[in-house]
Amino acid sequence: MTSTPFSALTQDQLDQELLTDFETMSAFGATPAGGVDREAMTAPDVEQRRWMKSWLEERGFTVEYDRVGNQFALLELVPGAPYVLLGSHMDSQPLGGKFDGAYGVLAGAEAAWRLARKFAETGHTPKYNLGVVNWFNEEGSRFQPSMMGSSVYTGKMDADLALKTADLSGITVAEALEAGGCLGTGSGPEAAAYAEIHIEQGRILEDTDTTIGLVEATWAAQKYHFIVHGEQSHTGSTVIADREDALLGASHLVIAAREIADSFAPAVHTSVGQMVILPNSPVVVAREVRVHLDMRSANEDLVKKADELLHERMAEIEKTANVRIEKDTAHAWGLLPYDERGVELSRSVAEELGLSSRNIMTVAGHDSTNMKDVVPSVMLFVPSVEGISHNEGEYTKPEDMCAGVNLFTRVAERLLEG
């Protein structure tokens, strides 16, 4: 930390602070291919949270955890006032990219630190308090569903249900948070507004040579959890007509999901991303397969139609593969717009800074998808090279990272004035 007054720092010095800190944080869970492997409450996630905690504490923020492991760093400027929260998530997918989420938490921390220094120097008191948040388990890879921390914070998910959720090895969220020293109490600070910046994870900004995406809505999503029930038997000796092959049924589901997406192309996206096969042994016909299917569209009617088709296909598959399919909707959200005022505010800040911007939808879910339903929220994107994400090759150019944080800082400053 330098002792140079904030107003004397050059843009280059501010950019350097950001890029150096990003490099430091990307070392937690770094993979040889340039990504990170930092699933919720694994050792690298815990270590990175500790690093973020000391970074913020050294700068005068008070760090606390709520009952579901959301990490808040608070700077009380106006006693008793609610907080403008800036943040995202630092957990990653297995073998994921280092920008997804982590960039947004660091952007929040850097913006908050810039504003804290500015207020300290000018003696200005804003209307609201300033907070940074690192939401617990946004990715939902180790513990489902995704966006767990912000779902509990916003009252969309019961805290006890979240705490009881177990990973594939039976470790619960409560146990993992306790072991990581991240299990707090209470339901977090009161928010006045929320802002998040994230990489696009798509190619629209790059294809249109735009620096800033102003998110106006999230695609609707349905995430299904199927259990295909069959009967365990010998892969060699069981007569074909007698087989109740759960993996055959699950495979038909994978194909059906794709055919449904193709029939609405390009408006519906679907994929099965995970299957758990029991007992998963080479000479055993699977008795049970758990299948996670993700379906999204910007058009809620199409999600409904795709869902109907999926039910028809399930009935066919049960007959042809001689299995029984059980279905749960594990997580769903509708197409709800973001507050237009946030979009317009960010557009005008982009103009002031001479940055190109455009309205955009997010296909991926973000914690702001939850937050926008309870407080005025702003969601911003910076470009992803070739749209690559949930992949170690995920990349955003340093100049775009820096431009995003400059814009984000000014947006946060405006939100702090109410």
Report the interface residues with ligand GLV, using CB under 6 A: 146, 364-365
Question: Shortest approach of ligand GLV to residue 379 CB, angstroms?
Answer: 13
Question: Shortest approach of ligand GLV to residue 70 CB, angstroms?
Answer: 16
Taking CB under 5 A as the criterion, the residue among 15, 45, 91, 100 binding Mn ion is 100
For residues 350-369, which are near Mn ion according to CB under 5 A?
364
Partners of 88 in the beta sheet? Answer: 134
* 288 binding Mn ion? (CB under 5 A): no
* 101 binding Mn ion? (CB under 5 A): yes
Question: Shortest approach of Mn ion to residue 198 CB, angstroms?
Answer: 6
**Taking CB within 5 to 8 Å according to partner kind, which of Mn ion, ligand GLV, none is near residue 288?**
none
The neighbour count for residue 167, using CB atoms within 10 Å, is 18
Question: Shortest approach of ligand GLV to residue 150 CB, angstroms?
Answer: 11
Distance CA 345, CA 385 (A): 26
The neighbour count for residue 10, using CB atoms within 10 Å, is 9
Question: Shortest approach of ligand GLV to residue 395 CB, angstroms?
Answer: 18
**Taking CB within 5 to 8 Å according to partner kind, which of Mn ion, ligand GLV, none is near residue 126?**
none
**Taking CB within 5 to 8 Å according to partner kind, which of ligand GLV, Mn ion, none is near residue 215?**
none
Nearer to ligand GLV, 71 or 141 (CB): 141
CB-side neighbour CA atoms (13 Å) of 261: 18
Q: Decide if 346 contacts 378 (C-beta within 8 A).
A: yes
* Nearest in space to 162 (alpha carbons), one of 6, 154, 172: 172
Q: Collapsing DSSP states into helix, strand and coil, what is residue 266?
A: coil
Question: Shortest approach of ligand GLV to residue 200 CB, angstroms?
Answer: 13
Determine if the peptide bond prior to 145 is cis (ω within 30°). yes
Nearer to ligand GLV, 252 or 331 (CB): 331
* Nearest in space to 122 (alpha carbons), one of 114, 132, 130, 134: 114
**Taking CB within 5 to 8 Å according to partner kind, which of Mn ion, ligand GLV, none is near residue 355?**
none
Q: Spell out, one character per residue from 1 to 30, where the chain touches Mn ion: x when CB under 5 A holds, - when not.
A: ------------------------------
Angle between helices 102-122 and 43-58 (to 10 degrees): 10
Distance CA 42, CA 24 (A): 18
